[in-house]
Chain A
Amino acid sequence: MLCKNCSSLLNRFVKNASCRSLSRLLSSKTYNDWNKAVSDAEKIVGYPTSYMSLRCLISDEFSNVAMHLRKLVGTRHPLLKTARGLLHVGKQNTQTRGLIVLLIAKAAGPGPAEQIKDQEPDKISGIYSSQRSLAEVTEMIHMANLIHKGVVNLSDYLESDQREKNDMEFGNKMAVLSGDFLLANACTELATLNNTHVVESMSLAITDLMEAEFTDLRNDNGESLLKPDIQFSDWIKQTYLSSGSLLARSCRSAVELADHREDQREAAASFGENMAYLQQVKNDLKPFLSKDNGLEDFSVTSAPVIKFLERHPDERKTFTSLQTKDQHQIFSIIKSSNVVAECVKLSDVYGDTAIKSLDVFPQTEAKNALINIVNATVNS
């Protein structure tokens, strides 16, 4: 049952979120393209995915967290920012995962079993209910991961500021519980799919997400760490573990749930994986392409930095020592070099590869919607 407090809280979040997206819509053409691709796609899959994860928030347990969350307002615990980000309807990357899974499911079409038997299948808008559950699981796993990655190390807070330390401890508790709640729901939801291969694949996606936080490109707080011998293959591996694996395995599982052929499963996985690389490159490029030279989104292990170091090995030492002292200097060197253009080209390649993987699927509006989302991401 929807608890009163929770619903008013949600309403407020959603209202804020839609105002913000409206203003962004008016101010930017590329955002407009993206928004159109997503809203068209949402019509094709029947109902928007953004609301699926909200269903979780309506449960008793979550409304409990939502109540406690108010106590965190005014503190600096990352959980607040994560919660705000999750509820920002239509935000790129966070809620497109479920949508992509649904579109792949629809693009793959009815399974071979359905074409033989003439019994009415359990599906809405061309998507089986098991595939909808899977899309939901994908979003829940992603949300849980974002929340758990936001747990802070209490030793970073000084004993002298007991108040802040208490806030952080409390925020951690809420983060652990809400993330666990999402993961537990993902587990039970997966179990209902009656397909142990899908459970296996999605479990591997979670282990990959965890491994991503223990590579030598991440420090204890989850911040990027530049090592002197970094290669682009490190970037690929990091991106695969932290987002490619989940999207690839979810897309593959969606197709598997309808018993499609192995080459179609592979194609779906390839689409998901390349889409994740594309999104990461675009994300990495953002600080270089935006007008305000903000370092906020800049990462020392972003694709442009690594590409630059592969071209200029003599800078490796300097960059590694600069990362803690003066990131701005690294940023300026990269910005004035030609690796930015190279990375833009790279995003085209990932986009093309993603679109090319869809060749095994018939021409449908769902496939078109996927292509539009890829193009909107490339042009964003």
Chain B
Amino acid sequence: MSTTSSGNTPTILSGKGPTPCRVSPCKFRILQQRELTSQTLHTDTQKDVNPFQLAKPELDHICSSINQTLNTQMTELREMAQYYFDGQGKTFRPLIVLLMAKALNAHGKNTDIISQSQKQVAMISEMIHTASLVHDDVIDNSSTRRGKPTVDSRWGQRKAILVGDYILSVSSLLLAQLRNEEVVKILSQVIEDLVRGEFMQLGSKEEPNDRFNHYLKKTFKKTASLMANSCKAVAVLSNCSDDLTERAFEYGRNIGMAFQLIDDLLDFTSHESVMGKPTAADLKLGLATAPVLYAAQEHKELNALIMRRFCHEGDVELARSLVAKSDGVYQTRLLAEAHSAAAIGLLKEFKPSKARDALEHVATMVLSRNK
């Protein structure tokens, strides 16, 4: 059986990076673990570069800059729109966008100065993300996010949806003001992917292999597309080569996939008090993520539960215990590690810089987060 990677498995550009880890397309199990240990690129002296520290000056301004753009005359609309930009979020997307911009500028222009347009892309990425969170919370009927009440539980569903649209249209306005048609296209694609991903979540596939592919495709659209395309956008704005632009995209995609896989894993292993949101939330919503899909290979009885979206009484508990008995969590972690390793491999062609090291650090950080 061929082991060439499909669009959703961890990839490294052909011939340039280390051999991609093997992901069996039929069973999606990681067969060889040895190749997963990532080779570090950076020198010893720069080993402990803290990604957040490196982008701190810019990151510190992200929320206040976003809030300035959401400065409408309508008081309630403003308060609602700015609600999540309170500086308490992870601002993970702006972080990788800013570091990618730094690494690319260091590569091509020998400068670590981030251009104004690149900073705008970092803001736009966080705004698109937040707008989608506001809508997701209504769709999923969640009541808390980041330890505080969701927008819709505070102000009602109707206005919450309109605020999501508002944040999205302001981000689209900022995007247009970059006056770069290619970047407009790249980031508009993200908005379409987010919605299509949400639609994909409504349906599921009968056949287990299709189901895993469906899950990976959905994960790309719902999470990785934003990171991949935002990285691509700052690459386009840095006027770097097509190869490097592609690498930036692939880096973002692999980070995004790893990020979501870990998120899905934490839904099974973490405690509510740590996550700031209820755990086993996915199962309760009827969603089968990687740990369950892997577990179903060992415990065939899970397939029926997946198909009925865990709607019978006791389904959620049964699924949790079967996942715990299987190696689903372990396999999910391996897949995330493979994506993380692929992300690091992609950075090889970047000239050494602090920002590149920080991006590498981000790739390992994604695996070790516990919330």
User: Which chain A residues have a beta carbon within 8 Å of chain B's beta carbons?
Assistant: 61, 64, 144-145, 148-149, 151-155, 169, 172-173, 175-177, 179-181, 183-185, 187-188, 190-192, 194-197, 199-200, 203-204, 206-207, 209-211, 213-215, 220-222
Contact = CB atoms under 8 A, between A and B. Distances in A.
A61 B172 contact: no
A337 to B, nearest CB: 32
B173 A207 contact: yes
Interface string B284-296: 0000000000000
A367 B179 CA distance: 33
A152 B176 CA distance: 32
Given A203-B176, A214-B77, A187 B192 contact: yes
A152 B181 CA distance: 37
A196 B195 contact: no
Given A153-B157, A172-B157, A188-B192, A210 B198 contact: no
A110 B242 CA distance: 37
B343 interface: no
Contacts of B189: 188, 191
A180 B198 CA distance: 10
B169 A149 contact: no
Given A175-B161, A187-B188, 18 more contacts: A151-B157, A151-B161, A176-B138, A179-B165, A191-B184, A196-B178, A196-B184, A199-B175, A199-B176, A200-B177, A203-B172, A203-B175, A204-B169, A206-B172, A211-B77, A214-B72, A214-B162, A220-B155
Across the A-B interface, the 10 shortest Cβ-Cβ residue pairs: A206-B169, A153-B156, A200-B176, A199-B176, A214-B74, A191-B188, A214-B77, A210-B166, A203-B173, A184-B195
A274 to B, nearest CB: 24
Q: Is the interface of A mostly helix, strand, loop or mixed?
A: helix
A155 B160 CA distance: 13
A301 B228 CA distance: 47
Nearest to B158: A151
16 contacts: A61-B196, A149-B158, A151-B138, A153-B157, A173-B138, A176-B135, A180-B135, A181-B195, A183-B191, A188-B185, A188-B188, A192-B185, A196-B181, A197-B176, A211-B72, A214-B76
Nearest to B131: A180
A242 to B, nearest CB: 12
A154 B185 CA distance: 36
A207 to B, nearest CB: 5
Most A C-beta atoms less than 10 A away, residue of B72, B73, B168, B195: B195
B34 to A, nearest CB: 42
B156 A155 contact: yes
A203 B176 CA distance: 9
B185 A207 contact: no
A220 B156 contact: yes
B165 A148 contact: yes
A185 B192 contact: yes
Contacts of B161: 148, 151, 175-176, 179
A220 B77 CA distance: 11
A155 B157 CA distance: 9
Given A184-B191, A184-B195, A152 B158 contact: yes
A213 B74 CA distance: 10
A176 B189 CA distance: 19
A210 to B, nearest CB: 4
B68 to A, nearest CB: 15
Interface in B133-159: 135, 138-139, 141, 155-159
A108 B247 CA distance: 45
A220 B158 contact: yes
Interface string B61-93: 000000000001110110000000000000000
